[in-house]
């Protein structure tokens, strides 16, 4: 009797998730272009003048998100002066991915590098948030020739004690993971989403309409739910592998870290990264949580502008030195 009840409940949840995911797709049509790379098809949105001087600015979102979380207000602000390239990470938003090889920051960094090659971009200033702090670090360590500069917003970069939540670990198990992904995200996640987003912003107030405007419900679709869980579960092993190599990073780095961030500890991550990479400019934001791009967008845009200008002025000097 109990087993039958569980089966019936899961069946009902599966129907709700199936139709709910379809409704989410209809409610949030995704613009931009699609670029095929090895192992994924990436959704890309470009803003600003294509012929702007200096390297373009590539913006990469964190976990449980998509590129819309960086488009407004920060991306639009930077695009007033520079070419901006926003990308949905593999498996997120409007991007797809094949298999589990696309889960690590290093793998996704390579995919984004391939995307930039197809766009005719050699080097870029990368703006990375949260989970993608590790992606930006991987790019700077393993593909340094592509990185003109790195602006990190509340980045995850180092190993930490603890895990990333039992539910995420369960979602990566064979059989159990797909069952969870196709039954629970819509009926349960829908009611938890607003509170979860508010908690990420704390102690700031979440902007009105943020969840809808940034298309956060897209993460409730089964494929993105699974991609997000895998990304989170594999993040710690990846930063454990990468962090001993951070001293190799030569690119200029600026970090914005809220001192009340309860999602990604600034002490464990931002401060440790600044210690490991001496040229890092660490900007601590009193009373700011995990969303500096919403708390101080003008200040971040000014630092990005400075980094692009410095990279632009450095390029002729490098070319002249190579010629001699």
The whole-chain average pLDDT of the chain stands at: 93
Alpha carbon 61 to chain centroid, angstroms: 2
Q: How far is CA 101 from the centre of its chain?
A: 17
User: What number is the average pLDDT over the span 243-263?
Assistant: 97
How far is 311 from 35, CA to CA, in rounded Å? 26
Residue 15 has pLDDT above 60, yes or no: yes
pLDDT above 60 (res 317)? no
Instruction: Quote the pLDDT of residue 322.
Output: 47
| The pLDDT of residue 10 is above 90 | no
pLDDT at site 315: 62
What radius of gyration do the chain's Cα atoms show? 20
Say yes or no to pLDDT of 321 above 60.
Answer: no
DSSP string, 24-70: HHHHS---SEEEEETTEEEEEEEES-TT-SS--EEEE--SS--THHH
Helix (H) or strand (E) holding 253: strand 253-258
Across 113-225, the runs of DSSP E, i.e. the strands, are 124-129, 147-153
Cis peptide, bond prior to residue 73, ω within 30 of zero:
yes
Q: Is the pLDDT of residue 145 over 60?
A: yes
pLDDT digits (tens, 9 = 90+) for 35-78: 999 999 999 999 999 999 999 999 999 999 999 999 999 999 99
Mean pLDDT of the 5-18 span = 81
Confidence of residue 189 (pLDDT cuts 50, 70, 90): confident
pLDDT band of residue 1 (cuts 50, 70, 90) is low
Q: Distance (Å, rounded) from C-alpha 242 to C-alpha 206? A: 33
- Per-residue confidence band for 12, with pLDDT thresholds at 50, 70 and 90: confident
- CB-CB contact of 67 with 93 (8 Å): yes
- Percentage of the residues of the chain whose pLDDT score is greater than 90: 84
Q: Which one has a higher pLDDT value, 133 or 320?
A: 133
- 44 vs 184, which has greater pLDDT? 44
- The 10s digit of each residue's pLDDT in 269-303 is 999 999 999 999 999 999 999 999 999 999 999 99
pLDDT attached to residue 67: 98
pLDDT level of residue 313 (50, 70, 90 thresholds)? confident
| pTM given for the model | 0.94
pLDDT band at residue 239, thresholds of 50, 70 and 90?
very high
Lowest model confidence (mean pLDDT) among 4-13, 40-49, 82-91: 4-13
Q: Sorting pLDDT into bands at 50, 70 and 90, what band is 314? A: confident
Check residue 320 and give its pLDDT: 47
Distance of CA 292 to the CA centre of its chain: 14
């Amino acid at each position: 009797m109990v087993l039958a009840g569980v089966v019936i409940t899961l069946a009902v949840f599966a129907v709700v998730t199936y139709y709910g995911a379809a409704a989410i797709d209809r409610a949030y049509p995704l613009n931009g272009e699609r670029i095929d790379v090895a192992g994924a098809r990436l959704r890309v949105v470009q803003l600003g003048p294509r012929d702007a001087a200096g390297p373009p600015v590539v913006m990469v979102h964190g976990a449980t998100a998509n590129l819309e979380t960086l488009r407004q207000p920060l991306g639009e602000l930077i695009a007033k002066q520079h070419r901006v390239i926003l990308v949905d990470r593999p498996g997120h938003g409007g991007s797809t991915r094949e298999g589990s090889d696309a889960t690590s920051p290093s793998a996704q960094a390579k995919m984004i590098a391939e995307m930039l090659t197809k766009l005719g971009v050699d080097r870029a200033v990368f703006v990375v948030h949260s989970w993608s702090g590790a992606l930006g670090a991987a790019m700077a360590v393993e593909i340094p020739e592509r990185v003109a500069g790195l602006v990190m917003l509340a980045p995850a970069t180092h190993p930490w004690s603890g895990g990333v939540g039992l539910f995420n670990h369960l979602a990566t198990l064979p059989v159990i993971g797909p069952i969870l992904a196709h039954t629970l995200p819509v009926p349960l996640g829908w009611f938890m989403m607003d509170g979860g987003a508010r908690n990420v912003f704390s102690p700031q107030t979440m902007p009105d309409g943020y969840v809808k405007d940034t298309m956060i419900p897209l993460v409730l679709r089964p494929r993105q739910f699974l991609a997000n869980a895998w990304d989170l579960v594999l993040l710690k092993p990846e930063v454990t592998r990468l962090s001993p190599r951070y001293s190799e990073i030569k690119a200029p780095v600026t970090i914005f870290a809220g001192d009340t961030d309860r999602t990604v500890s600034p002490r464990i991550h931002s401060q440790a990264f600044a210690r490991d990479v001496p040229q890092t400019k660490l900007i601590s934001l009193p009373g700011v949580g995990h969303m500096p791009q919403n708390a101080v967008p003008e200040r971040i845009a000014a630092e990005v502008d400075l980094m692009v200008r410095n990279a632009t002025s450095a390029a002729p000097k490098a070319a002249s030195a190579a010629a001699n």
